[in-house]
Structure 1
Amino acid sequence: MKHKTVEVKNVLRTQDMFSNLQSRSEITPGIGLIHGASGFGKTTTVTYMFNQLTAMGNLPVYVRCYATDTPSSFLARVMKELGSEPMYPLRKSVDFITNTMNEQQIALFVDEADHIIGQAKTMETIRDLYDATELPVVLIGMEEIARRISHRKQLFNRISEWVEFMPADNEDVSMFACELLEQGIKVGEDLLDFIRVRSGGEVRRILIALEKIERFALTNEKDYIDKELWGDGQLFLNHGRR
């Protein structure tokens, strides 16, 4: 299959969200939130948008959080992305980061933010970075992050844009098939719907299914595969169901 990001609805909504953060008025806060279940393509979408911004000359910073993070380890990772070693006391790192962000107009993307929601000092550190720059900060996490972050009012009240990643619909699945399958291979609507239902709309599982179909088509020299032709072939590891 082709290696590319398909601009399905979740991707377009994320791009719109970030555009709104960039063009917001001065009185509107600039923290964004991307949330949704695992497998719906959040990290892939953010990476795609990150690369687009970089190609346009913008210099966003992307960091991934870990369960063991502290303010020190989080700041050290941001410093590394900015090409510098950590400075101590930590206030020097904060000053360096905020000065660099302001000078270069750098947006900050914080992935796997679920890991640090319960860590008050780390979350306050992120708020400090935003307050000192008022540049876009985007938090990315699982479906529960919106509820959990609502308990941190000072940060929650700064969120002005958000995207909840939804399961892929039939149009999205069709786009994946049209744009990713090699050599003009087509998939019948009945089989695409079968993939959507059985995958639960999870992008990872949809791509697994499409790759299996592509291999089947190439092996059997077919350019069109529908549900009848696919038959009882297994698309997913799904507790014995096909």
Structure 2
Amino acid sequence: MLNGDAAVKGPVATANVAAFMTLATKLIERDPNVPGIGVFYGPSGYGKTYASIFAQNKTRALRVEVGDYWTRKTLLKAILAEAGQAARGTIADMADEAIRILGDMPSRPVIIDEADRLLKLGMIELVRDLHDKSTAPIILIGEELLPTKIEPLERVHNRVLDWVGAQPSDLDDARQLAGSICRGIKLSDDLLAAIVKESDGRARRIVVNLVKAGEMARNRGLKALDLKTWGQEALHSGRAPKPRGVR
């Protein structure tokens, strides 16, 4: 989730949330004769996970986040747990059970975050098998190079119905996030534009700056905050500090 998500009081429909929902709807409502895997990709911090959680709540999707230590058994157990089922038997038994459950609810997507790890750990063919045998819509979320990693794998690549790239956040997204995070405090467009620029359009960094802005306004007893009032306070950029020349 975004850093500072605890401060987000409710769902915020950013542009990437809308794009993710469009992808999910396309997969759910697709013709039964076309494949049902979607790929949502982009750099870290663009709000991909937040968008997937929003979609999960709207579509009742099963959502898992692949760990770097996972095995095929771990993945299947996580999917079954999301569906409210206990994992029993061998890996083949669990795969059959997952396929049965997914096949029984074809309009309920499976969202797999950190999908780059599926390829690293040699589990992408298992996901393809789950899709092929259940026809459930599956959305893979990963970094910018995920499509490039999938492309050589013809059997997986051929199952992808759509590829959607997450976009950097803009001023409209910042307004939406500010309305949720900084409730009761009006942030000017010049301050929001500076936050978006310094954050390099990365939603995670924008949230950190908005939390900081809310704290500053409350500490000063302000109901509004603009760039002039912000003053010389540094904005969070996420960049590492430069070497200090200490020997």
> TM-score w.r.t. structure 1 length?
0.89
Point out where structure 2 has 5 or more consecutive residues left out of the alignment. Answer: 1-6, 243-247
| SS of corresponding position for 2:67 | coil
Q: Could you tell me how far apart the structure 1 residues matched to 2:180 and 2:90 are?
A: 50
Deviation at 1:151, TM superposition (A): 1.7
Tell me how far apart the structure 1 counterparts of residues 223 and 152 of structure 2 sit (CA, whole Å): 53
Alignment of 1:1-242 (within 5 A): 1-54=7-60, 60-105=61-106, 106-120=108-122, 122-183=123-184, 185-236=185-236, 238-239=239-240
Q: Percent identity?
A: 27
Task: Give 1:224's aligned amino acid.
Answer: A
Distance 1:194 1:226 in 2: 10
Q: Give the count of matched residue pairs.
A: 234
Contact 2:28 2:109 in 1 (8 A): no
Contact 1:34 1:163 in 2 (8 A): yes
Instruction: Tell me how far apart the structure 2 counterparts of residues 144 and 231 of structure 1 sit (CA, whole Å).
Output: 39
Structure 1 residues 67-91: Cα deviation after superposition (integer angstroms, max 9, x where no partner): 2222222112222223333333322
Distance in structure 2 (CA, Å) of the matches to 1:11 and 1:104: 23
Show CA shifts across 1:34-75 (max 9, x none): 111111111111112111223xxxxx3211112222222211
SS at match of 2:120: coil
Contact persistence 1:208–1:235 (CA under 8 A): no
Deviation of 1:239 after TM superposition, in Å, equals: 4.8
d(CA) in 2 for partners of 1:119, 1:213: 41
Q: Deviations over 1:92-121 (max 9, x none)?
A: 21111111111233421111111121333x
Residues 2, 34 of structure 1: alpha-carbon distance in 2 compared, 3 angstrom cutoff: closer
Q: Which whole-Å CA distance do the structure 1 matches of 2:239 and 2:134 have between them?
A: 47
Amino acid at match of 1:125: L
Maintained 8 Å contact 1:2/1:182: no
Partners of 2:140 and 2:25 in 1: CA distance? 15
Whole-Å Cα distance in 2 between the matches of residues 79 and 53 of structure 1? Answer: 17
Q: Structure 1: any 5+ residue segments left out of the alignment?
A: 55-59
Note if contact 1:5-1:45 (Cα within 8 Å) is conserved in structure 2.
Answer: no
SS at match of 1:117: helix
CA RMSD of aligned residues (A): 1.8
The answer to which of 229-238 and 153-162 deviates more is 229-238
Is the CA contact 2:59–2:109 (under 8 Å) kept in the aligned structure 1?
Answer: no
Relative distance call for 1:160 and 1:152 in structure 2 (3 A) is same
Q: For residues 91 and 174 of structure 2, what CA distance do their matches in structure 1 show?
A: 47
| Aligned equivalents of 1:172, 1:37: Cα separation in 2 | 17
Runs of 4+ in structure 1 off by over 4 angstroms are 237-241
- Cα distance in 1 for partners of 2:240, 2:37 equals 41
Counterpart Cα distance in 2 of 1:84 and 1:187: 46
What is the TM-score normalised by the length of structure 2?
0.88
